Amino acid sequence: MKYKILFAPLQGCTDYCYRNAFEQVFGGVDSYYTPFLRIERKEIRTRDIVGIKPENNHVPSLIPQILADTKEDFQQLMSVVLENGYKRVDINLGCPFPLIANKQKGSGMLPFPEKVEAMLSSVADYSDVTFSVKMRLGMSSPDECLALLPLFEKAGVSQISMHARLGSQQYKGNVDMDAFARFYDACSLPLIYNGDICTVEDIERITTRFPKLAGVMIGRGLLAHPELAMEYKQDVHLSDDERMEKYHQLHDLVFEAYRERLKGGDAQVVSKMKDFWEYFYPEMDKKSRKAIKKAITIAKYENAVMF
Ligand SMILES: Cc1cc2nc3c(=O)[nH]c(=O)nc-3n(C[C@H](O)[C@H](O)[C@H](O)COP(=O)(O)O)c2cc1C
């Protein structure tokens, strides 16, 4: 049996240009999650709204993610999500960035069950929407997730994706598999494992240890090696030539999409391509990577991309 593979949301990396290109060249992903939409100075960024427009998205299953700490923010975000026809929404309780977490949002909300409960009370107002939660083990203690579990069950949350780190770790240190195991044992809701999956063997190791999982969510592992989900799902192993051909296809589609979207802005396009290269194809030689980092114009960038 093959487990579900979900593409984790990655702010700055998995926008619609990237998701569409990824689906066209590789696929193997059951659902894509958008980076979180949030309220900034009482508004939702236009870029985030454009990012969920159905006409911009060509993947079979897309789930918008929202980050809200008040009922008002929750409602404002939901109105945009509903206007665009979505019936599934993911709630972010995992963002560790101090600017967010210090305001008791994202993972910063995890130590405060009353706050989580108040936020979740909004879920009942949308009876035809299926809500999932993406969270961490806690902000500073892995017991925090256990205390919240009854609240998720009571609110009718349909699925939990658990990044097996603490908010205080940000992206550093190891995932805590023992704390994840305690949550797995206690959790009656469909559970998705997330954190540091880089290879097909990692997927198999985790699903063998936790067979009741509803799937795994992968972020940086897919950005680095986009063939990972497809190879797992189809039980194939691409030859080096096949893999490189697909890498070129992915690169060219993403590059073309950014040039189309950011018309006239050389610097912007190159900056987006640098985000693309932040995680992609880590085996590439250091010299080419350095040249990409230094490029400012599209011409210089094209010269630098000799992979
Ligand atoms: C650059 C970056 C941006 C991220 N943006 C989001 C986000 O918008 N929403 C979210 O829930 N998680 C976000 N995450 C966390 C990832 O979705 C994921 O939980 C984390 O990277 C661990 O999974 P991985 O080891 O498979 O990457 C982000 C992570 C990174 C590195």
- Ligand 1 atom closest to the CA of 217, numbered from 1: 26
Domain C-terminal end among 234, 250, 270: 234
Query: In this structure, are 274 and 153 located in the same domain?
Result: no
Same-domain pairing of 175 and 192:
yes
* Residues 265 and 220 both lie in one domain: no
Residues 6+ apart with CB under 8 A from 101: 95, 107, 108, 139, 167
The reported pLDDT for the residue numbered 76 is 97
112 and 259 together in one domain:
no
Percent of the chain with pLDDT over 70: 100
Mutate to test the pocket of ligand 1, among 89, 163, 197, 275 (most ligand atoms within 8 A of CB): 163
Residues 173 and 257 in one domain: no
Residues 220 and 287 grouped into a single domain? no
List, for residues 175-208, the tens digit of each pLDDT value.
Answer: 999 999 999 999 999 999 999 999 999 999 999 9
Confidence of residue 221 (pLDDT cuts 50, 70, 90): very high
Q: How far is Cα 297 from Cα 270, in angstroms, rounded to an integer?
A: 7
Query: Is the CB of 9 within 6 Å of ligand 1?
Result: yes
- Residue 265: per-residue pLDDT: 85
Domain boundary among 172, 203, 234: 234
pLDDT, tens digit, for every residue of 29-79?
999 999 999 999 999 999 999 999 999 999 999 999 999 999 999 999 999
Structural domain harbouring 29: 4-234
Same domain for 176 and 210, yes or no, is: yes
Q: Are residues 205 and 245 in the same domain?
A: no
Q: How far is the CA of 10 from the centre of ligand 1 (A)?
A: 5
State the Cα–Cα distance between residues 172 and 81, nearest whole angstrom: 32
Atom of ligand 1 nearest to the CA of 13: 1
DSSP per-residue codes, 63-112: E-EE--SSHHHHHHHHHHHHHTT--EEEEEE----HHHHTTT-GGGGTT-
**92-110 burial by CB neighbour count: b if 16+ within 10 A, else e?**
bbbbbeeebbeebbbbbbb
Do 68 and 199 fall within a single domain? yes
Q: CA separation (Å) from 287 to 118, 225, 248, 291? A: 52, 20, 18, 6
307 pLDDT higher than 80? no
Q: Identify whether residues 204 and 254 lie together within a single domain.
A: no
For residue 34, the ligand 1 atom closest to its alpha carbon is: 8
Question: Cα–Cα distance between 159 and 190 in angstroms, integer?
Answer: 5
Which residues, other chains included, contact 124 with Cβ-Cβ below 8 Å and sequence gap of 6+?
Answer: 155, 156
Instruction: Confirm or reject: Cβ of 36 under 6 Å from ligand 1.
Output: yes
Q: Which of the 8 DSSP states describes residue 8?
A: P
Is the CB of residue 137 less than 8 Å from the CB of residue 183?
A: yes
Q: What is the pLDDT of residues 225-273, one digit of tens each?
A: 999 999 999 999 999 999 999 999 999 999 999 999 998 789 999 999 9
Query: Which atom of ligand 1 lies at the shortest distance from residue 90's CA?
Result: 11
| Residue 216 confidence (pLDDT) | 99
Q: Tell whether ligand 1 has an atom less than 6 A from the beta carbon of residue 221.
A: yes
Supply the Cα-derived Rg of the chain in whole angstroms. Answer: 19
What distance in Å separates the CA atoms of residue 299 and residue 247, rounded to the nearest whole number? 20
10 lines ligand 1 (CB under 6 A): yes
pTM of this structure: 0.98
The dihedral through the CA atoms of 214, 136, 23, 82 has a sign that is positive
Please name the helix (run of DSSP H) or strand (run of DSSP E) that holds residue 218, with its range, or none: strand 215-218
Whether 61 and 101 map to the same domain: the answer is yes
Task: Count how many domains the chain has.
Answer: 2
35 lines ligand 1 (CB under 6 A): yes
Q: Residues 123, 26: one domain?
A: yes
